[in-house]
Structure 1
């Protein structure tokens, strides 16, 4: 069980690097382990890099990491950490799926960094476990795996499964591990060494607060945008949004113009289109189903709005020719 004291030291971690993995979560996971060894003055943890075929792997930033072996070279007592990044669906092949299933049957602790939760979900080993994924991938992940218990937390540790959302959240996950296994004093010493204070709890949200994101703290504006974000599939009318906030529709309009320099209708549309782009790039949902999931009842209207905002049709976003006869083809970018 991940977080239980290891019977043998050092505890061995096997990092499985998938092509285009994100570098920051990987280094964020390894450095606390290294510094825990240093602070404890003994080898508490050990780690090695593996790839599906044993060949070097390029991260999304272009840095190439050498692997010590392929999946079959991973010892059965290792804690497995699958590391994902860009285009995770493209890099989720049958070899890694089959190996993860086999490792799960052997009772190994298996976790994911960043988008690699998608790989664990495809392997079917997250059922009955809480998990998380980077907030940008959360809508598509939830659509693809509606039966999973997915949270928006920084990280999740649930028995023999663990996941972190990416970025620096792996620091907090490993500090939680160190604290549970070797005491909070050692975890605090490691956190101070890497200038990471305070240590964040796993339940903390990934994204910055809504006022910080929109650059405004007007309470009614924040409340209205929160309602918009929670109702993308079935958009609320401006009159309903205004009434819920205790405003007239004219006051609502002025509020958005003053703080966001656009109308409420335009802002709401942009939220829905950005979610649509996320679903198009991160799921296998049909364009029609993406349109419905983002509050567009007409596929043609969705295509026109999408093209006007992103300068390409939803089909071309996926590298496909346009299927909407009302729209001209857009030159390849």
Structure 2
């Protein structure tokens, strides 16, 4: 599967190296996120079009060689087996939902073999879980979709998970999934072209801008209150960064640079609740993620989320979610005891 090279204009971008050829492979696993894969492929297609030649060639592969079903129910053809593909320059593992069910010893062997021979190995969405489970992210900075990051931090302490949309750390390129795949590919193009291909892509795809490595993947409150309420957003970010050892409202107010009373008015006006309740719900939401995505004990989760005792944790949990932590776990924990 390759792109026809149709130039955008006479002012073509130039590869850093003449006749540059880059082969990219996308390893799909069942229930992968199709959006992330198509964003990456479209970025490669547009880069080829921008320079008027086929710099990038790509192939979609699977463990068996058969097309696998994406989370939206679609199949992508053509698909070939990993064993049959020509060795790529970059290999990206495309994950999605129920990723723990896709891990198997044969896949681990495949990933470890590819990591020894392919210059760049990376992932989209929860594909990072498969890399981490195979030991291929130990000692690296990496990102994964925000719904899974809390659990994976506990499961893989040797991996430094960040909250960015993507990260390029040496020979490991990981992104949070979705449209972040397009952002990451645009960053990769900077290494291959003399001009800013990302700007061309954003213009062609009608994007306001292509995000960079410093952009956060998930900024609490911003979508709800707007980016102009900086004090409120900063207070929430401080709370999110201090889950295990919660700060007092006076400490948070001092760090933000407002009075406690002013901070309480901000939360009440824009969120309809006092900051202490917001903070508590934030910690409980983190606890819920850990309950459903890890095999950590309820006592361990209580400590990680800043509660003084399991009974206090259970009481707070029931007051917000309507059931105890143990009942939540019985209903939702996957058979593997790891994230869905």
**Which TM-score tier does this pair reach, normalised by the shorter chain?**
0.7 to 0.9
CA contact (8 A) 1:51 1:71 kept: yes
Distance 1:114 1:209 in 2: 19
Greater mean deviation of Cα atoms: 30-39 or 239-248: 239-248
Instruction: Give the structure 2 partner of residue 293 of structure 1.
Output: 304
Offset from partner CA, 1:163-193 (integer Å, 9 cap, x none)? 1121211112112222321332544333321
Greater mean deviation of Cα atoms: 263-272 or 309-318: 309-318
Deviation for aligned residue 1:100: 0.7
Instruction: Give the structure 2 partner of residue 94 of structure 1.
Output: 105
Instruction: Give the structure 2 partner of residue 247 of structure 1.
Output: 259
Distance 1:220 1:123 in 2: 41
Question: 175, 183, 193: which one pairs with 2:186?
Answer: 175
Instruction: Give the structure 1 partner of residue 328 of structure 2.
Output: 317
Query: Equivalences for 1:193-232 in 2 at 5 Å?
Result: 193-208=204-219, 210-215=221-226, 217-218=228-229, 220-232=231-243
Deviation for aligned residue 1:255: 4.2
Instruction: Give the structure 2 partner of residue 118 of structure 1.
Output: 129
Question: 272, 284, 299: which one pairs with 1:273?
Answer: 284
Other structure's SS at 1:184 match: coil
CA contact (8 A) 1:175 1:191 kept: no
Other structure's SS at 2:91 match: strand
What TM-score, normalized to structure 1?
0.83
Instruction: Give the structure 1 partner of residue 157 of structure 2.
Output: 146
Q: 1:52 to 1:315 in 2, by over 3 A?
A: farther
Instruction: Give the structure 2 partner of residue 47 of structure 1.
Output: 58
Distance 2:238 2:100 in 1: 31
Question: 193, 199, 209: which one pairs with 1:188?
Answer: 199
Instruction: Give the structure 1 partner of residue 177 of structure 2.
Output: 166
Offset from partner CA, 1:5-34 (integer Å, 9 cap, x none)? 789864222111122211221111110111
Distance 2:43 2:93 in 1: 17
Deviation for aligned residue 1:87: 2.5
CA contact (8 A) 2:90 2:118 kept: no
Deviation for aligned residue 1:161: 1.5
Instruction: Give the structure 2 partner of residue 326 of structure 1.
Output: none
Offset from partner CA, 1:103-141 (integer Å, 9 cap, x none)? 112244211011211211111122333322223322222
Other structure's SS at 1:274 match: helix
CA contact (8 A) 2:88 2:118 kept: no
Deviation for aligned residue 1:283: 2.9
Give structure 2 stretches of 5+ with no counterpart: 1-14, 334-340
Question: 283, 294, 306: which one pairs with 2:294?
Answer: 283
Deviation for aligned residue 1:148: 2.1
Distance 2:22 2:254 in 1: 57
CA contact (8 A) 2:112 2:134 kept: yes
Instruction: Give the structure 2 partner of residue 133 of structure 1.
Output: 144
Deviation for aligned residue 1:318: 3.8
Instruction: Give the structure 2 partner of residue 305 of structure 1.
Output: 316
Q: 1:108 to 1:316 in 2, by over 3 A?
A: farther
Distance 2:196 2:228 in 1: 38
What TM-score, normalized to structure 2?
0.81
Question: 79, 84, 93: which one pairs with 2:90?
Answer: 79
Distance 1:315 1:172 in 2: 40
Question: 203, 228, 248: which one pairs with 1:237?
Answer: 248
CA contact (8 A) 2:220 2:236 kept: no
Greater mean deviation of Cα atoms: 42-51 or 190-199: 190-199
CA contact (8 A) 1:113 1:170 kept: yes
Deviation for aligned residue 1:159: 2.8
